[in-house]
């Protein structure tokens, strides 16, 4: 849906200025919804990247690669991640 296609339903007897305020509010709500959906997708991608990075580090440790930079603990609590 394009923003130009967003329509607020007409209400009989509603003054034009009030209709325009409702329409602009509706458009702003659609924009916020899209922004939230986009942010959710970016957060999900970031979570996957973190999980994959920790998996690589785990495999490197298991393969015998012992570097001081790999000796730190996971800073993110597993139960802190929600969707």
* 16-27 per-position pLDDT tens digit: 888 888 888 888
8 A C-beta contact, residue 5 and residue 30: no
Q: Would you place residue 45 in the very low, low, confident or very high pLDDT band (cuts 50, 70, 90)?
A: very high
Distance CA 45, CA 53 (A): 12
- Tens-digit pLDDT profile for residues 31-43: 899 999 999 999 9
Bigger pLDDT: 80 vs 17: 17
Residue 23's Cβ-count burial label (10 Å; 0-12, 13-18, 19+) is: middle
List the chain domain ranges: 14-67
Two tokens, residue 75: 């800073």
Cβ partners under 8 Å of residue 77, min gap 6: none
Q: Please, how many CA atoms are within 13 Å of residue 26, restricted to the half-sphere of its CB?
A: 15
């Amino acid at each position: 849906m394009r923003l130009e296609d967003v329509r607020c339903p007409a209400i009989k007897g509603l003054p034009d200025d009030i209709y325009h305020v409702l329409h602009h509010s509706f458009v702003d709500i659609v924009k916020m919804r899209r922004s939230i959906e986009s942010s959710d997708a970016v957060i999900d991608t970031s979570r996957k990247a973190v999980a994959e990075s920790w998996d690589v580090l785990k495999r490197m440790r298991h393969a015998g690669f012992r570097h001081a930079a790999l000796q730190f603990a996971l800073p993110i609590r597993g139960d802190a991640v929600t969707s």
